[in-house]
Amino acid sequence: MSKSIFVVISSPSGGGKDTIIAKLMNIFSGSVKLLTTTTRDKRPGDVSGINYNFISKESFEKKIKNNELVEYNNFNGNYYGIEKEILAKTLANNRLVFTNIDVNGRANLKKSGVDHLSIFLLPDSIDVLENRIRERGGVEESELKKRLKIAKKEIKMANKYDYKVVNKEGYLDMAVKEIEKIINKVDKK
């Protein structure tokens, strides 16, 4: 890879973004996951500085006011965003940088003019997505219904991405292989 490739992977909640990114990082040496910033509560097993940069709503809003973010979004009552300084340092020091952001975040990133490769992970169906969210745990029934409603809207946005990949239930490695081929193709350009 001659220059850094910034790979944006989006999917509805429960779509497999983090799992696929972890597998891709094992395939591509010199790759990292961009540390994004959020105000959401930590889930079981989340570590600040590894999964996200977890900060308060007040701190996030200060970053917005000070124009410290490339893009940000409020998803389901929580802020998520990419800090300019973190992105610049990460791209300067790594050949392949992955991030998982939602469709609004990706649209904001595109508007900001940041060069990136965008991939949308599609589920087999909404039912499969619902089961994945339930199995992951930590989500109330009302929250689950909200996420599924949002998921249906997000899936309609998939055509705005450079590539769409189906993360078929039970065939995770096929989705990973497909994305690996996409990255290798883009790298040869």
Q: Is the pLDDT of residue 54 over 80?
A: yes
Q: What values do phi and psi take at 114, rounded to 5?
A: -75, 125
Q: Which of 20-24, 33-37, 136-140 has the lowest mean pLDDT?
A: 136-140
Question: 89-120 pLDDT, tens per residue?
Answer: 999 999 999 998 888 889 888 888 899 999 99
Mean pLDDT, residues 68-78: 89
Count, residues in the chain:
189
Q: Which residue has the higher pLDDT, 4 or 139?
A: 4
Domain of residue 34, CATH code: 3.40.50.300
Q: What is the pLDDT of residue 135?
A: 82
Contact 53, 75 (CB under 8 A): no
Cα 184 to Cα 37: distance, rounded to the nearest angstrom: 28
Question: 151-160 pLDDT, tens per residue?
Answer: 899 999 999 9
142: enclosing H helix or E strand: helix 141-156
Cα 88 to Cα 179: distance, rounded to the nearest angstrom: 24
Range of the domain at 56: 5-188
Task: Detail the DSSP E strand segments found in 11-68.
Answer: 31-33, 37-38, 53-54
Q: Is the pLDDT of residue 1 over 50?
A: no
Mean pLDDT, residues 21-27: 96
Q: What is the pLDDT of residue 2?
A: 52
Q: What is the pTM of this model?
A: 0.86
Q: How confident is the model at residue 56 (pLDDT cuts 50, 70, 90)?
A: very high
Number of domains within the chain:
1
Q: Is the pLDDT of residue 148 over 60?
A: yes
Q: What is the pLDDT of residue 97?
A: 97
